[in-house]
Structure 1
Amino acid sequence: MNAASKGPVASEMLARLAAALHPSQLELIDDSEQHRGHGGYRGEGGESHFTLRIESAAFTGLGRVQRQRLVYKALGDLMTDKVHALAMETRAPGE
Structure 2
Amino acid sequence: MRKYEMMLIYDVEAKPLEEIKEFVKASFSANGINVIDEKDIGMRDLAYYIEKKKRGYYYLFHFETEQSNLLKVDKDFKLYKPIVRYLTLRQD
The TM-score normalised by the length of structure 2 is 0.50
Give the alignment of 1:22-41 within 5 angstroms. Answer: 22-31=32-41, 33-35=43-45, 38-40=48-50, 41=53
Quick check: which one's strand share is greater? Answer: 2
Residue 75 of structure 1 aligns with which residue?
77
Please give the alpha-carbon distance, in whole angstroms, between the structure 2 residues aligned to 1:87 and 1:28.
Answer: 15
Quick check: which one's helix share is greater? Answer: 1
1:52–1:31 distance in 2 versus 1, CA, 3 Å: same
1:19–1:10 distance in 2 versus 1, CA, 3 Å: same
Structure number with the bigger relative contact order (C-alpha 8 A, sep ≥ 6) is 2
C-alpha RMSD of matched pairs (Å): 3.4
Contact 1:29 1:51 in 2 (8 A): yes
* Secondary structure of the corresponding residue to residue 39 of structure 1: strand
* Secondary structure of the corresponding residue to residue 75 of structure 1: helix
* Secondary structure of the corresponding residue to residue 84 of structure 1: strand
* Secondary structure of the corresponding residue to residue 12 of structure 1: helix
The TM-score normalised by the length of structure 1 is 0.49
1:27–1:11 distance in 2 versus 1, CA, 3 Å: farther
1:82–1:89 distance in 2 versus 1, CA, 3 Å: same
Question: Which sections of structure 2, spanning at least 5 residues, go unmatched?
Answer: 1-16
